[in-house]
Each structure stands twice: as structure tokens, then as C-alpha cells.
Structure 1
Amino acid sequence: MFTLSRFLKALRAVLIGVIAAVLLFLLGSWIGSSIPRNADWVEPDHGMEVMVETNGVHTSLIVPLVNDIKDWRGDFPAEDIADPYAPYTHLSISWGEHEVFLNTPTWADLSPLTVLRIIGVGGKGVLHVSHYVRPAPSDTVRPIMLTRAQYARLVTAIERSVPKRPRIRHHGYFAQDVFYDTQGEYTARNTCNQWTSNMLAAAGVKTGWWTPFAGGVMKWIARPPEGQS
């Protein structure tokens, strides 16, 4: 006979299991993000500047719109956004989960059911591209210098996520951004921040092995000097 006491014991066991799983995930993410890839990388004094941006939860890469290595205007034309006429100089590029990106303009809109679905079964990938005019360094927008060869490798890595034509795009949150359906499956092991880390690692930059959280990416990127932020 299934009594109330047995039910409470079963419920307690489930809760303990969930808490243990969460704690193990947090511990694993801390350990994984602390083990470096490209451990011998040293930032050059001169070269090509990119930036790593965070809002505390999500990270993205900021790259020059045009230089002699890559012109991104063919991949992400300004005509795809609501305000195509500003003198844009940079792009912020990030990868994430389709439903979370498109249906949660603020983190308050993120439902627990969506989080559980992503953890359990994952979701489709989507690319978020924002057009910027001369982004300034700050604690949340941190510049790093790459050699020309490293920047070329970063471009090649990002290009693998660029959607094939015909592209399916979605309106952004503001007049300067847009979403594109792209390949890849978002899971607890392959998060938006892991994508950022993988792009940096492909360029040869020192970063963590497994970085599901934004802090695991940003702890490898030095804050700009006081005068620049």
C-alpha cells in the first residue's frame, strides 16, 4: 500500500537527487572552465582587436565589420535589420537556443519549463547578430588582441555557424539586431557560452575547456585598464 510516508520519502529522494545533480553540474562547470585550452597563449602587443561581451548570463564576440581579412557585410547585411543606415563599425555575434533567444527578450520571460526542456532534450541553434557603432571597452565589453593569423582562424570558426542561403531570419529585440536560424543543437553541454569559448579556442586564445556559464568565459579575458573603461 502506497502510504503518505512512502510518498514523502520518495519525494525527498527525488529532491535530494535533483539538488545533487545541480551541485555536480556547478562543480563540473567550475572545474571544466578552470582547465585551460591553449595554455601557452600570450596576447600580442599589436594586431587585430576583437572584444568579448557579456550581460552576466550570455557572452558574444565583437568583431570589426570590415577589414582586409574579412568583410562580414555579405554574411550579415545591414539590410536585414530595422535600422540599416547607421555608420556601423562592428558586429556582435553569438549563438544560442532558438526558443530562448526568440521568446525571452528579458530573463524574466524565461520559464522553468523551457529551462527543463533545454536541459533534458536540448533545442535548435540560432545566431544572434547585433550591429554596433564603435563599441567602447568596459568591464562587460573586454578587448583582446589577436595576431592576423589568429583572427583569420577566428573568422573561419565563426563562418561554420553562418547560415546557408536561403537564410531564415527573425526580428531582433531592437532596431540594430537580427536572428538567423543555424545549425547545431543547444544542450546543457553545448551552451551559448561554450560556443564563444570554442570560437576563441579555435583562434588559439587561452580559454576554458567547458564553459557553460558566462563567468567561465570572462574569467580568462582581462578587464581593460581603468582609463579605457
Structure 2
Amino acid sequence: MKIILFRLTKYLLIFLVVCLVFVLNYIFFAWFLSRLTTTPKDYKCDKPYTVYATSNGVHMDLIFHKSLLDEAFLVQLQPIEGDYIAIGWGDKGFYLHTPSWAELKISTAIAAGFLPSKTLMHLTHYKYLNSKWKSIELCDEQLAAMKKFVYESFKYDKKGTIQILEGTGYRDNDFFYEAKGNYTCLYTCNIWVNQALKKAAVKTAIWSPFDRGILRHLSK
């Protein structure tokens, strides 16, 4: 019995050490790579379009004026009452079961961070421009590349239509749609935003799972 307990204790300690090393390395690389800036193609053109990025303190969204989005995409959305649409990508379980941080469960956090879980697109409609949003100036090619990335993140049915989750949403102005891809700690909601910025040739972090690592570059 003592031998069994000794082995269990040994394996538990090894497991805890491995977890600690992983967490420390994750934090270090998130800090280090978020400070390194991409070197995107420099478009020699006017940049008449403005999109925005925002964060709730943890999770980032991209925000488009509805005039910048394709009509074929807009007609598939729930009725739009405002002029601005925030679009985010994230873990399905986290989105649906954690409307506030007070309701966060350990099981949800572990599943979101370490298991390749299903994802959703979260769209929120806003009536007015918020002065706290970070503005991003784009030319035609950049805007087209960003929109292509966003559109391709949605999951479509056989008819080529995006799939809404009926009865979901935190308020009357936000909705969830099925998304492509899996969420892990190596590809988070913020990394999705960072990828959209990279596709649009916007200077951003090399890699940042946290919002601050991206916002730092947008502030420059």
C-alpha cells in the first residue's frame, strides 16, 4: 500500500511540475511574442475605410460599419438595428455557459484551454460609434482580405447559409452563429483577431493569446 501511495504521489508531483512548466512557458512566450511586431506589406494607397477593435478586458472583437460588409452576408444576419456590427470568434462552451466571469466553471475553463473544443461566432449590433474602440485604417485590398478571413470563419450549411443558434445571445442586440475551427490555449479568440489583422497587412503582434498584446500595437 505504501508503495502504491508513493508512486501515486510521485506521478502527481510530476504532473504538477509539467503543468507548472507549461504555464510558465506559455506566459513567457505570450509576453515575448506579443512584443514582437509583424512586418506586413506596405500598401501605397489611400486608406478610406475604418474598422475597429475592442476588448471587454479579456476577449477582443472586430467592429465593422455595416456599409463595409457585403450585402450577401448582411441579409443572412438577424435584423440589424444599429450601424455597427462587432464580430468575435470563441469557444462554444465558454460563450454559452459563461455570460459573466462570476459564472465561470473550472471545467469550462479547462475544456476551453486544453481541449480542441467547438466554436461560435458572436455578433453584437451597436447603434453608435464608441470613442474607446481602436480604429484601424484600411485600403481596398486590406479590407477585402480581412472580410474574407471573417466570412470564412463562419460555418455554412449545404445551401451556403450561415447557421444561427436560435434563442442564444446575452441581450437583444447580440447573436451566436456556428463557426469553423477549434479553440485551444494555442488558438484563442484574441489570436483569431490577430490573424485577421495579419491577413489585412496590419502591424500587430507576432502571437498573442491575450488582448493587451494586440491592443499595444493598435495604440501606436
Q: TM-score, with normalisation over the residues of structure 1?
A: 0.83
**1:105 aligns to what?**
99
State the Cα deviation string for residues 200-224 of structure 1 (Å, max 9, x = none). Answer: 110110112222111121111117x
Q: What's the CA shift for 1:123?
A: 0.5
Give the match's secondary structure for 1:63.
strand
Matches for 1:123-142 after TM superposition, within 5 Å: 123-138=117-132, 141-142=133-134
The count of residues paired between Structure 1 and Structure 2 equals 213
Question: Relative to total residues, which structure has the larger strand share, 1 or 2?
Answer: 1
Partner of 1:25: 26
The aligned runs of 1:158-177 (5 Å cut-off) are 158-164=150-156, 165=161, 167-170=163-166, 171-177=168-174
CA contact 2:47–2:140 (8 Å) conserved in 1: no
Greater shift, 88-97 or 147-156, is seen at 147-156
> 2:195 aligns to what?
198
Unaligned ranges ≥5, structure 2: none
Contact 1:60 1:92 in 2 (8 A): yes
Q: Counterparts of 1:147-162 in structure 2 under 5 Å?
A: 147-162=139-154
Helix, strand or coil: the match of 1:127?
strand
Sequence identity of aligned pairs in percent?
27
Secondary structure of the equivalent of 1:123? coil
> CA separation in 1, counterparts of 2:74 and 2:11?
57
Q: Determine the structure 2 residue equivalent to 1:183.
A: 180
Which whole-Å CA distance do the structure 2 matches of 1:207 and 1:215 have between them?
11
SS in 1 for 2:208: coil
Given the alignment of the two structures, is residue 145 of structure 1 paired with residue 137 of structure 2, yes or no?
yes
Q: Give, in angstroms, the shift of residue 154 of structure 1.
A: 1.1
- Higher deviation after alignment, 175-184 or 25-34: 25-34
- Aligned residues of 1:43 and 1:145 also touching (Cα < 8 A): no
Instruction: Normalising by structure 2, report the TM-score.
Output: 0.86
